[in-house]
Amino acid sequence: MEEADGVRGRARRAVRAELAELALGLFVERGFDTTTVDDVARVAGLSKRSLFRYFATKEDMVLGVVDVMGEGFAEEVRARPAEETPWDCLRAVLHAWEARIRESTDQLARLRLIESTPTLRARLHQRRDESRRLIADALRERPGSGLDGFTAEFYTAAAGAALDAASSEWLRTGGATDRATLIDRAFTTLRPS
C-alpha cells in the first residue's frame, strides 16, 4: 500500500506508463469518446477491472503525468528567494517546469487530443484547480509575502492563464514555438518590466 519505492512500485509505474502510451495511441487513432475502456483493455490484454486499478478514470490514462504537478510546484515556489515578487516567482517556477515537461514524449499528440476533447479539457482544469490552492498557499506563506488569500489566488490563476494560452498557441503552431518563451511573453504583457 505504501508508495515508497520498492521493486514493486517501480514495476507498477512502468506498467502504468506502458498502458498510458498504448491508450493514448488508441485514443488518437479512434477518438477519445468513441474508444471504450473495454477496447483499451482488450488491446492491452487485460480486464477492464485491472485497467481501472492502474487508472482511476478513463481520462487519467491520458492526463497521467500532469496530475502530480501541484505539490512539486508548490514546493518550488517556497524555495524561491523571498525578495522576488509573486509574479516573478511564478514566472520563474513555470519556466523551470516547462523545461522539464519538454522531455516527455508524445506531448504534441497528447496535447492535441486534450485540446480537442471537452471531457479531457474539463478534467485537466479540475486538476489544475486542485493544484491552484496548494500553489496559492505556498505563495502566501513565503516569508514576507504580505499576500492575502484573494490576491494569492488571483496571481496563481493568472499564471495558469499564461500556461493555458501558451499551450494553446504552441499547439496552434504545431509545436514550432517555444513554450517557455511564450510564457515569458504572457507574463510581460501584463507587467512590462
Partner DNA sequence: CCATCCTATGTCACTCAGTGACAATAGTGT
Partner DNA sequence: ACACTATTGTCACTGAGTGACATAGGATGG
Give residues in contact with its own copies (CB under 8 A): 87, 118, 121-123, 125-126, 129-130, 149-151, 153-155, 157-158, 160-162, 164-166, 168-169, 172, 182, 185-186, 189-191
Residue 69's SS3 state is helix
Span from 35-43, 77-85, 94-102, 126-134 in contact with DNA (CB under 7 A) = 35-43
How far, in Å, CA of 68 to CA of 154, rounded?
A: 21
Does 54 bind DNA (CB under 7 A)? Our answer is yes
Cell numbers for 15: 506498467
Question: CB burial class (10 A; 0-12, 13-18, 19+) of residue 154?
Answer: middle
Minimum CB separation of residue 33 from DNA in Å reads 7
> 58 or 179, CB closer to DNA?
58
How far, in Å, CA of 38 to CA of 49, rounded?
A: 9
Residue 25: CB atoms within 10 A of its CB come to 14
> 120 or 152, CB closer to DNA?
120
Does 180 bind DNA (CB under 7 A)? Our answer is no
Q: What is the distance, to the nearest Å, from the Cα of residue 169 to the centroid of all Cα atoms in its chain?
A: 16
12 interface partner picked from DNA, its own copies, none, CB below 5 to 8 A per type: DNA
Cell numbers for 161: 492563464
State the residues that interact with DNA by CB under 7 A.
1, 8, 12, 15, 35-38, 45-50, 52-54, 56-59
